[in-house]
Structure 1
Amino acid sequence: MPLVSTGELVGQARSAGRAVAAFNVISLEHAEAIAAGAEAAGAPAILQVSENAVRFHGGRLAPIAAAAAAVARASSAPLALHLDHVVSVELLHAAHPEGFSSVMFDASKLSYEENVAATADAVRWGHERGIWVEAELGKVGGKEGEAPLDAHAPGVRTDPVEAAAYVADTGVDALAVAVGSSHAMTERTAALDHELIGRLRDAVPVPLVLHGSSGVPDEEIRAAVTAGMVKINVGTALNTAFTGAVREVLTGQPALVDPRKYVGPGRDAMAETVARFLAVVHAD
């Protein structure tokens, strides 16, 4: 079916008191697995390509964007295309020509004042082109190239009063907040601050986004959705599933050289992971 916009999927989820899951795309197999998982779950999903993934592909956005979009259009599930954790203004400006309906502009490394100014500029640019813009406030640790960060350290969590001012001053369409999760977790042990999620929900008029959801247990995700989270980002869990399946095949068949024989099971493992997460976030 035709690509659906991220704003439409998030809006529908919010109206229904549910959430929509967004999954990171690194390779063609990731995109195929997300589509297959969404079809199996009978739920919509967002395919998101990060700036790190673009860097992995030699800094070229067009090939991976075209592949993800082609997979999405061939799927029977409602799927959207999102450009994630964009720091580079040049990459931000490449989003519209490549068919992305939304961008997460990440100015979280800047001071608060610089973050507001840069994000407001990104929002103005995006809205002129019909692009939905997400931003981040607070410190969600675990990003590539950053020192480890304790998700429970003082000053890390997003402050509701500051969040309200940030949304008003930037005009963002959604806000990623720090509430106890962390990027790149391979074990699902994160404990979220659900009381804070509720306060943030009441403080800002836009949907809340949970980054680092791979490390969050199912019951914590369900509680977070009930408290007000609307977009649930998942990345590492797919890579963990893929790598585990590939490792199992190659360990059992050390002479194997045909990548289809081990990449295929890896893709299937990712699709199963996608379907499981969608069952959690899309539940009534």
Structure 2
Amino acid sequence: MPLTGTGDTVAAAAAAGHAAAAFNIIQIEHAEAVITGAEAANAPVILQISENAVRYHGALAPLARAALAAGERAGVPVSVHLDHVTDPALVGEAVELGLHSVMFDASTLDYADNVKATADVVARCHAARVWVEAELGEVGGKDGVHAPGVRTDPVEAAAYVAATGVDALAVAVGTSHAMLTRDAELDYGLIGALRRAVPVPLVLHGSSGVSDPGLVEAVGRGMTKINISTHLNNAFTAAVRDHLAAHPATVDPRRYLGAGRAAVATEVTRLLGILRQDRQDRPA
């Protein structure tokens, strides 16, 4: 099946009243697992490559090209997204490689500098028909997700979108990256207020820390793109540990990586079923 633009996948999810699922990948087994899980759910999916993953591999091209090639062979729509990039040069490389979207993260800058840097990236990417996500607020800020001032302000968010021209906005509503437990306390009232104020899709980062019911509620209140990474790494690593414990003589990486890949595929299918439930209209 031909690769699909991230913007098309997100727009279709919004029109259908559910969420687009975006799963981070670190190696080819992750990409294969996510696609296999999406095919079992008969659902489109977004493969995300973070700047940290690029740093791990030493370059974007090898993993990005592998993800694009895997997506081309998929039986469901697949798009490839560069996640949490802070280096504009890496954005340019993603555009040249043919990635469908980028998430440019200037959230650590003050507001004016964030707007300027993001608007510059948006102009370059839109010229190449590449969809752009940005962030306002601190997802898992240095002083904690519930510290004063780290949440995204709806009025400021609307002004930010107008000033930068971004296609989607990641917002800080109580999640944190790399959570190993699923007990994040989301501010659902704030999600509703942001949905009413912001004219582009809202993105939930740090979704690994959100329970299944919490994900359903977040989507119901207005989140349209849901990013998940650590939760899948948990599933992958647990399956590898179990395999090696049961088969201590194993030396062929395909054996234990295959177990990890199968575990991730199963969890992707399950999560897609949750995220693609019809949105419930609830009071914010």
Structures share fold, TM-score greater than 0.5: yes
Structure 2: distance between partners of 1:271 and 1:109: 34
Contact map agreement 2:140 2:174 (CA 8 A) in 1: no
* 1:128-148 Cα distance to aligned partner (Å, 9 max, x none): 110110000000027xxxx5x
1:247 maps to which of 241, 257, 260: 241
Tell me which residue corresponds to 1:104.
103
Structure 2: distance between partners of 1:248 and 1:9: 35
Following superposition, the deviation at residue 252 of structure 1 comes to 2.1
Is 1:50 the equivalent of 2:50? yes
Is 1:81 the equivalent of 2:84? no
Tell me which residue corresponds to 1:66.
65
Percent of matched pairs sharing the same residue: 61
Tell me which residue corresponds to 1:27.
27
Structure 1: distance between partners of 2:267 and 2:114: 34
Matches within 5 A, 1:132-211: 132-141=131-140, 147=142, 149-211=143-205
Contact map agreement 1:237 1:273 (CA 8 A) in 2: no
| Partner amino acid, structure 2, of 1:63 | P
Query: Unaligned 5+ residue runs, structure 2?
Result: 279-284
SS of residue in 1 equivalent to 2:145: coil
Structure 2: distance between partners of 1:272 and 1:110: 39
Tell me which residue corresponds to 2:282.
none
SS of residue in 2 equivalent to 1:250: helix
Following superposition, the deviation at residue 154 of structure 1 comes to 1.2
SS of residue in 2 equivalent to 1:190: coil
Q: Which moved further from structure 2: 271-280 or 3-12?
A: 271-280
Tell me which residue corresponds to 2:8.
8
Following superposition, the deviation at residue 78 of structure 1 comes to 0.9
RMSD, aligned CA: 1.0
Following superposition, the deviation at residue 276 of structure 1 comes to 1.4
* 1:132-177 Cα distance to aligned partner (Å, 9 max, x none): 10000000027xxxx5x42111111100011011111111000000
Structure 2: distance between partners of 1:130 and 1:213: 28
SS of residue in 2 equivalent to 1:76: coil
Following superposition, the deviation at residue 21 of structure 1 comes to 0.5
| Partner amino acid, structure 2, of 1:214 | S
Following superposition, the deviation at residue 253 of structure 1 comes to 2.1
SS of residue in 1 equivalent to 2:18: coil
Tell me which residue corresponds to 2:223.
229
| Partner amino acid, structure 1, of 2:105 | D
Tell me which residue corresponds to 1:117.
116
Tell me which residue corresponds to 2:268.
274
Is 1:219 the equivalent of 2:213? yes
Contact map agreement 1:20 1:232 (CA 8 A) in 2: yes
* 1:172-217 Cα distance to aligned partner (Å, 9 max, x none): 0000000011110111111211110010011010000000011100
TM-score normalised by the chain length of structure 1: 0.96
Following superposition, the deviation at residue 251 of structure 1 comes to 1.6
Structure 2: distance between partners of 1:110 and 1:273: 36
SS of residue in 2 equivalent to 1:103: strand
Following superposition, the deviation at residue 254 of structure 1 comes to 2.0
SS of residue in 2 equivalent to 1:96: helix
| Partner amino acid, structure 1, of 2:277 | A
Is 1:40 the equivalent of 2:40? yes
| Partner amino acid, structure 2, of 1:67 | A
Tell me which residue corresponds to 2:91.
92
- Runs of 4+ aligned residues of structure 1 deviating over 3 Å after TM superposition are none
Query: Unaligned 5+ residue runs, structure 1?
Result: none
| Partner amino acid, structure 1, of 2:248 | P
Contact map agreement 2:41 2:272 (CA 8 A) in 1: yes
TM-score normalised by the chain length of structure 2: 0.96
